[in-house]
Structure 1
Amino acid sequence: MRKLEAGEAIPAWSLPLTPTTIVSTAIATRDWQDVHHDRDIAQAAGSKDIFMNILTSNGLVEKYVADWVGHDCELKGIAIRLGAPAHPYDTLTFTGEVTEVADGVATIAVTGSVSLGAHVTGTVKVAVA
């Protein structure tokens, strides 16, 4: 695991969003809500298209941090808030920064943005050596 310091930026990571990505990750997280896999129902509910579910967004935030810190990291907590929907044919781009290192825990601020704005914002806390 790498040594973390406050102010350190995490390199950006982008994920092209396809209908298959959005539908398959909803199914993989056992989220059967129809707005994540049925365009007609999503549009009838006022959405432009199907959209990514919160469980997938949470998992991608964790992946983004763990890929950078190291997969042997010990996660101490994740707190996220959803914003703009993540629709197919868009790109979800993650950025992050270590905001604090104290008492053996690093706090990392993460934002995942799509063309409509911030899709997910939050913090990830990881144990540091």
Structure 2
Amino acid sequence: MREFRPGEAIAPLELEISLPMMVAYAGATWDWHRYHYDLQFAREMGLPAPFVDGQMLGGLLARTVLRWAGPEAMLRRLWLRYRALLFPGETITCTGVVEEVRRQESSLLLLCRLEVRAGDGRAVVDQAGAEVEVPAP
């Protein structure tokens, strides 16, 4: 079993957001609003392109922290604040750090601070965090 320590960096997730990825997410969540996939509609709204559904960013943060914590990890709580729109073709990096490790009866509760930044450095999601439960060593 691995140990988790406050200050430990969470392995980052970097990926390019694509329109097919956005459409797949829309299908999985039944969120078919046109501003998430229709270029013409987005432009009529004054946007350069369709924009990413914010909940997709929450899913990517969950993926980041669970992939890092291991196969027995359970996401107990996730929160985030959206700061900027994100468009297809942009690259993001999801990062985080362990803030606190709380010992419970037979497990550890990891309190993690998370964020998403676009390739140009702007914060897309901040004031984000997760509580992740893992088996105690």
* TM-score, normalising length: structure 1: 0.90
Between Structure 1 and Structure 2, how many residues are aligned? 129
Distance, in Å, in 2 between the alignment partners of 1:13 and 1:23 is 20
Tell me whether 1:90 sits opposite 2:90 in the alignment: yes
Tell me whether 1:108 sits opposite 2:105 in the alignment: no
Structure 2 counterpart of 1:13:
13
Deviation readout 1:71-105 (Å, 9 max, x if unpaired): 32122100011111121111011111001112442
Misfit runs of 4+, over 2 Å: none
Structure 2 counterpart of 1:126:
132
Whether contact under 8 Å (2:7, 2:99) holds in the other structure is yes
Structure 2 counterpart of 1:32:
32
Whether contact under 8 Å (2:66, 2:74) holds in the other structure is no
Structure 2 counterpart of 1:117:
122
Deviation at 1:116, TM superposition (A): 6.2
* TM-score, normalising length: structure 2: 0.85
Q: Percent identity?
A: 30
Q: Larger radius of gyration, structure 1 or 2? A: 2
RMSD: 1.6
Distance, in Å, in 1 between the alignment partners of 2:2 and 2:81 is 27
- Return closer, same or farther for 1:14/1:83 CA change in 2, 3 Å cut-off: same
Instruction: Give the unaligned 5+ runs of structure 2.
Output: none
Distance, in Å, in 2 between the alignment partners of 1:97 and 1:24 is 29
Opposite residue 33 of structure 1, the aligned amino acid is: H
